[in-house]
Structure 1
Amino acid sequence: MRILSIQSSVAYGHVGNSAAVFPLQRLGHEVWPVLTVHFSNHTGYGAWRGPLLDPADVREVIDGIDDRGVLGTADAVLSGYQGDPAVGAVILDAVARVKAANPDAVYCCDPVMGDVGRGMFVRPGIPEFMRDEVVPRADLITPNHFELDFLAGTTTTTEAEVLAAVDAVRARGPRQVLVTSVRYDDPGWEGEEELLEMIAVSDDGAWSVTTPLLPIAPNGGGDITAALYLAHLLDSGSPAVALERTAGSVFAVLEATLAAGTRELQIVGAQDAIAVPPTRFAARQLR
């Protein structure tokens, strides 16, 4: 597959394109990374250096790809953090151009806006732009639990409520939804181990995978998850298979990160588990 990935980039560590490109390549896909920022490191450190690219410069790079006559051959467009509505407009224009040439191309949007415990961490206006302009144009979205609640305009505390919120969002555009980092106050699971749930929903049904909750929360986890799920969904055509493969690989990366005692995802060290996803977690059909 050929994937146009329009995201941030860091020199040190793994977020944005720096978390998505290598895993996609390790799976054998051709990736065209377009950068929206190029920072020394992710902003979680509290200090960083490097440029926030002007939307016109981002458009120039995409235009240059189009000049080669290949933009319309992309099988998918992947986007993540959008720091400015003007960058979002450039991304949507690129999606429209790709789809005009290849109607079967898929737009996967990771609607990065916030998280539980942190609230919204993007600039004012970005959440509304994402909800009203970007998400309705996407074929696949990969919000976390917090972001799903914002997009649906509700608060979800049970699996049934999460599914209802997903259906509300799907009614506005995206047919495929992957919800990450789902946690409930009273999940009803047996045992005392804390778990995280991922839920995939399409026209064909809904599936869930639960994994142990590890005592780390590194930046970039959502970026690699969105990239891997997109790749496995397009490759298999099955949300359940894509869910199982994504969960196996991401959990292996997180385990390696925990063992290394670092705050940066061990994507390179765990690359074999990306190329051949462990069959560790089985998908459970919800409906």
Structure 2
Amino acid sequence: MRILSIQSCVSFGHVGNSAAVFPLQRLGHEVMPVHTVVFSNHTGYGDWGGQLISGDVVRDIVRGIDERGGLADVELVLSGYQGGNDIGDAILDAVALVKQRNPRALYACDPVLGSATSGCFVAPEVQSLIRDRVVPQADLITPNQFELGFITGTDPHTLEETLASADQVRAVGPATVLVTSVFRPDRPADTIEMLAVCDEGAWIVQTPQLPFKRNGSGDVASALFSSHFRASGDAPSALGRTAASVYELLANTYAAETLELQLVESQEAYVAPVRTFEVRQVR
């Protein structure tokens, strides 16, 4: 599968394209990364070197790919963190061009807005861009539970509330929703869940919750689920494979006591994770 991935890039560590590209390549996909920022490291460290890439530069790179015929067989477009309106517009322009070349292409958007612990950390204009313009154009979105609530103006906690919020956002555009972290109050202690909702139904998978967080794991989850779903069209299978891979990646990182994901060291987790987790249909 050929994938166009328009995301941030860091030299040290693994977020954005620096998290998504290698697992996809390890699965055998041909990935064309287009970077929206080129930084030394992710901004959670407090300082960094590098620069933002303008929307015009992103358009120019996509134009060059198109002139080589590189968009004709793209089956999946990925996007993640969007630092400003110009990047968002450039991504939407790229999606439109890809779909002109291949109407079967799927656009998967990770609507990066924030988390329940940190709140919303993007500028107000980016919030509006993602909620009002980007999400309706997406075929698949991969928000966390907080982001799902922000997009829909809801505050989901229970499974029923989360399903209702997913249905609400599906009504405005994206047919498929992966909620990457569900914290329902009645779940067993020390567990975390992912929920996939599409036209065919809804499924949930539960894994142990490790007592730490590392930047980039959501980028990996979004990339893996989107590629598995685009390849198979099977949401529960894509959900189970993604949960197993991401859990193993995080477990390896936790065991190594490193500040960055053990992305390369965990490469077998993307193709043959050692554990599997039950995927349960909830609707």
Q: Same fold (TM over 0.5)?
A: yes
Say whether residues 1:261 and 2:260 are aligned partners: no
Whole-Å separation in 2 of the counterparts to 1:49 and 1:4 = 25
SS at match of 1:3: strand
Whole-Å separation in 2 of the counterparts to 1:276 and 1:61 = 34
Say whether residues 1:213 and 2:209 are aligned partners: yes
Structure 2 partner of 1:141: 141
Structure 2 partner of 1:187: 186
Structure 2 partner of 1:170: 170
**210, 214, 224: which one aligns with 2:220:** 224
Runs of 4+ in 1 over 3 A off after TM superposition: none
8 A contact 2:76–2:227 mirrored in 1: no
Structure 2 partner of 1:159: 159
Instruction: Give the CA deviation at 1:279.
Output: 4.5
Whole-Å separation in 2 of the counterparts to 1:27 and 1:165 = 32
8 A contact 1:244–1:279 mirrored in 2: no
Q: Deviation digits for residues 218-274 of structure 1, max 9, x if unmatched? A: 000110000000111122221100000000000000000001101101111110111
Q: Deviation digits for residues 79-107 of structure 1, max 9, x if unmatched? A: 00000011000000010011112111000
Whole-Å separation in 1 of the counterparts to 2:186 and 2:105 = 37
Whole-Å separation in 2 of the counterparts to 1:278 and 1:166 = 31
Whole-Å separation in 2 of the counterparts to 1:211 and 1:128 = 33
Instruction: Give the CA deviation at 1:51.
Output: 1.1
SS at match of 1:34: strand
TM-score by length of 2: 0.98
SS at match of 2:127: helix
2:232 partner letter: S
8 A contact 1:206–1:285 mirrored in 2: yes
2:115 partner letter: D
Structure 2 partner of 1:118: 118
Instruction: Give the CA deviation at 1:277.
Output: 3.3
Q: Deviation digits for residues 141-171 of structure 1, max 9, x if unmatched? A: 0000000001111111210010000000000
Whole-Å separation in 1 of the counterparts to 2:275 and 2:192 = 17
Question: Aligned residue pairs: how many?
Answer: 283
**221, 241, 259: which one aligns with 1:245:** 241
Structure 1 partner of 2:70: 70
8 A contact 2:21–2:31 mirrored in 1: yes
Whole-Å separation in 1 of the counterparts to 2:37 and 2:163 = 34
Return closer, same or farther for 1:53/1:41 CA change in 2, 3 Å cut-off: same
Instruction: Give the CA deviation at 1:42.
Output: 0.5
Instruction: Give the CA deviation at 1:125.
Output: 1.4
Structure 2 partner of 1:53: 53
Structure 2 partner of 1:5: 5
Structure 2 partner of 1:283: 279
TM-score by length of 1: 0.97
SS at match of 2:112: coil
Instruction: Give the CA deviation at 1:59.
Output: 1.1
Return closer, same or farther for 1:241/1:175 CA change in 2, 3 Å cut-off: same
For structure 2, list consecutive stretches of 5 or more residues without a partner in the other structure.
none
Return closer, same or farther for 1:274/1:22 CA change in 2, 3 Å cut-off: same
For structure 1, list consecutive stretches of 5 or more residues without a partner in the other structure.
none
Say whether residues 1:103 and 2:103 are aligned partners: yes
Q: Deviation digits for residues 161-206 of structure 1, max 9, x if unmatched? A: 100000000000000000011102x2154xxx32111000010000
SS at match of 2:33: strand
8 A contact 1:8–1:17 mirrored in 2: yes
Whole-Å separation in 1 of the counterparts to 2:69 and 2:230 = 23
1:267 partner letter: L
Structure 2 partner of 1:42: 42
Aligned residues with identical type, % of pairs: 56
Q: Deviation digits for residues 2-36 of structure 1, max 9, x if unmatched? A: 00000000001000000000000000000000000
